[in-house]
Structure 1
């Protein structure tokens, strides 16, 4: 009995130490994490805490992050949700830099290392809450295997261990909390009164997931869809919970106040469209096939393991709580949104990076598929071998990746060449 209680804790400790080791080895130049999009998310922190203003001295790459045309204040098109989550790690890095006598300008490698640990922390947060959610529906072993398969079989791995300062792993962690709280409020405890603190936390998390990436707003479909199937029962429930729902909305709004204040300060307007000429120019002719299957970061082409939980969602064998349908609607909307964006491949990325946060929705169905397949030995063995191959495929491409894998010179033949190297030539799975 003591051994049974000990090994999960030992396994957890090993997993934490192992992921720290991978992160440390993969990120050879942590200062490079303060660059491009990653600096766009981060720039709020040195501006506020070191320089006291949004001035050019706060920015490392002034060719990418430029002053706002009217006020000459440093202008980030990205919302401040990621910076809010990075803040504790930034402050720790700042103190450590001072203690070590290093430069405290916010751009040195020690700050980049702090961002790397921030990304790793939110991976752990996401895995924890997905586990807590998953064991409400499936056996622990299948939930754990599902989480590990999603990590090793998709570009979540890349955006945790190679580019952790991008927004995606932060979204992954906070959306996992959102899914857990949504299930708690609308499924597990829907017939009891949740404490107001739960509703306030829910509103804060809801605001954060949108503030990290505004397109995450489509996840709000989930609490509107999954609980009562009968519309009259829904309306009655809403009438009974008007005050908690109002508190949730107010808390979510308060979460946005720092962003409104920033926009007002740099532009004079409380709300602005920060992406300028970048738009959803393909909304009439969305690049749906290319988003999913193109050599330029096609989601399914680079992370084919997602077909397994998607299959389970489509079959609808999970529960009777409408999870499957709600999840599929979210994926359909997300795919349309991504396919409508002017850069539907989302730049120099590994795999289609905008799906990383939505991988949270695939843990439950993959756990369900694994548990279901275990009933038939041959089916389970085949499934297990298939998952191992797909994880190897993803990790092989991950360690082979040297950006960018897009542009005129990057074709299906280019990708096939990399795949051949993984399976038939030299083993690419070397952790540096």
Structure 2
């Protein structure tokens, strides 16, 4: 009964966030590029996104590939995961037309954008519930619930599942949560479970290319097993590879059609949208810079990492090793990109997927604290972190902090306190911003 009650609480908070922040509108190059794959494939039966780019004023942003297609370097995974909601909207539009409702069956009218955006929010909710249930293996129901709520509401996820749902970050969080759930539930791997895990990992890489690192850790487990039992270990490793190939195959097909190659090492480099230098990663900046660095913008991440290093490592050492290794790998890859800050972004958006693991770190930390001091300190930390993030979100919406580039630390942190004092005078602007939902 308590688990059901906590699920209801999670759903209730999710609904409240959507009522406050949900904005099912395409705006910005990234959102158009992700959505263009879906709209072009379903409505026009093509992978040429020229028409979609042109509609939103991005016709000149990208040239043509060697195969004659408009270059679109963004991954196809989000479109795959949104497709059930888009197709549902397409059916609804057709039904509405039969009933005399003048919806355009063009892939852009309100049902398409609303249901597809709602898909992002729903995937985030499913990921949160998966993590809450997984956290019950290391923490009490209260610690599990608050760990998940805090990793959500005190991170960029709350913004990218609601106010900016056509980015990849909500589905990225979901697929990371799904991978962790599958990996931890299949603690005694078989070729069949490795095939399924590989498929999830391959799909995760099709959502965001750096997610390919998720497959490194089970692959290393299988290699170690191959040293002890060669037949079993090699069979598991082959199954993992086949599953990953199946999961990533849609992205490979798109690359083959658009770029003329099955594997494209750096699609962003082809488009002239960023380079990678693995010899000089900006990982310190990704952690500490006021230009969307993890700790300055999302301080709760420091507590989550403490939970991974301490309580979770003691309770579930294998979980902690994977999550810490994945955190390090993602920081290295993101930091190696010339656009490591994510450009225009609310917080460290390129690291949103890591908050799936951070939820487990917080749950472990809260459980350790609960056993010693009760839940009050954890509740105080959570409420403070969530308030910090929501104030920062309000400031971001009002452009009280720049939406791109570094922010002086005094503006970023001290501005949080001064904004509270100015909030009464900003009520009209805040209300207008909520109504127009962050253009």
Q: TM-score, normalised by structure 1?
A: 0.86
Tell me the residue number matched to 1:56.
Answer: 50
Q: 1:239 to 1:138 in 2, by over 3 A?
A: farther
Tell me the residue number matched to 2:259.
Answer: 267
Tell me the residue number matched to 1:414.
Answer: 411
Please give the per-residue CA displacement for 1:113-161, whole angstroms capped at 9, x wherever unaligned: 1222111111122112212322222222211111011111111111112
Pairing 1:24-423 to 2, within 5 Å after superposition: 24-28=19-23, 30-33=24-27, 35-53=28-46, 54=48, 56-59=50-53, 60-63=55-58, 66-98=62-94, 99=96, 100-185=101-186, 187=187, 189-190=188-189, 194=190, 196=192, 198-224=193-219, 235-236=227-228, 239-272=231-264, 273-275=266-268, 276=270, 277-281=272-276, 283-315=278-310, 317-319=313-315, 321-377=317-373, 380-402=375-397, 405-406=402-403, 410-416=407-413, 418-423=415-420
- 1:274 positional shift: 1.7
* Unaligned ranges ≥5, structure 2: none
Please give the per-residue CA displacement for 1:23-42, whole angstroms capped at 9, x wherever unaligned: 244234x2335x41112112
Rounded Cα–Cα distance in structure 1 between residues aligned with 2:138 and 2:316? 12
- 1:417 positional shift: 5.7
Rounded Cα–Cα distance in structure 2 between residues aligned with 1:83 and 1:102? 22
Q: 1:82 to 1:250 in 2, by over 3 A?
A: same
* Unaligned ranges ≥5, structure 1: none
Please give the per-residue CA displacement for 1:183-207, whole angstroms capped at 9, x wherever unaligned: 122x3x35xxx483x4433222111
SS in 2 for 1:32: coil
Rounded Cα–Cα distance in structure 1 between residues aligned with 2:241 and 2:72? 26
- 1:77 positional shift: 0.4
Rounded Cα–Cα distance in structure 2 between residues aligned with 1:149 and 1:268? 44
Rounded Cα–Cα distance in structure 1 between residues aligned with 2:403 and 2:263? 34
- 1:293 positional shift: 2.3
Q: 1:411 to 1:115 in 2, by over 3 A?
A: farther
Q: Number of aligned residue pairs: give it.
A: 415
Please give the per-residue CA displacement for 1:69-111, whole angstroms capped at 9, x wherever unaligned: 4444233101211110010011112222331321122123332
Rounded Cα–Cα distance in structure 2 between residues aligned with 1:205 and 1:166? 20
- 1:13 positional shift: 4.1
Given that residues 31 and 110 in structure 1 are in contact (C-alpha distance below 8 angstroms), is that contact kept between their aligned partners in structure 2? Answer: no
Q: TM-score, normalised by structure 2?
A: 0.85
Q: 1:147 to 1:237 in 2, by over 3 A?
A: farther
Given that residues 292 and 406 in structure 2 are in contact (C-alpha distance below 8 angstroms), is that contact kept between their aligned partners in structure 1? Answer: no
More displaced 10-residue stretch of structure 1: 268-277 or 343-352: 268-277
Rounded Cα–Cα distance in structure 1 between residues aligned with 2:360 and 2:49? 45
Given that residues 153 and 395 in structure 1 are in contact (C-alpha distance below 8 angstroms), is that contact kept between their aligned partners in structure 2? Answer: yes
Q: 1:232 to 1:23 in 2, by over 3 A?
A: closer
Given that residues 309 and 369 in structure 1 are in contact (C-alpha distance below 8 angstroms), is that contact kept between their aligned partners in structure 2? Answer: yes
- 1:394 positional shift: 0.6
Rounded Cα–Cα distance in structure 2 between residues aligned with 1:212 and 1:58? 20
Q: 1:232 to 1:318 in 2, by over 3 A?
A: same
Given that residues 283 and 332 in structure 2 are in contact (C-alpha distance below 8 angstroms), is that contact kept between their aligned partners in structure 1? Answer: yes
Given that residues 129 and 180 in structure 1 are in contact (C-alpha distance below 8 angstroms), is that contact kept between their aligned partners in structure 2? Answer: yes
More displaced 10-residue stretch of structure 1: 98-107 or 112-121: 98-107
SS in 2 for 1:301: helix
Q: 1:259 to 1:282 in 2, by over 3 A?
A: closer
Over the residues paired in the alignment, what is the CA RMSD in angstroms? 2.8
More displaced 10-residue stretch of structure 1: 290-299 or 354-363: 290-299
2:397 counterpart of 1:426: no
- 1:412 positional shift: 2.9
Rounded Cα–Cα distance in structure 2 between residues aligned with 1:216 and 1:232? 22
Specify which structure has the higher proportion of helix.
2
- 1:408 positional shift: 6.5
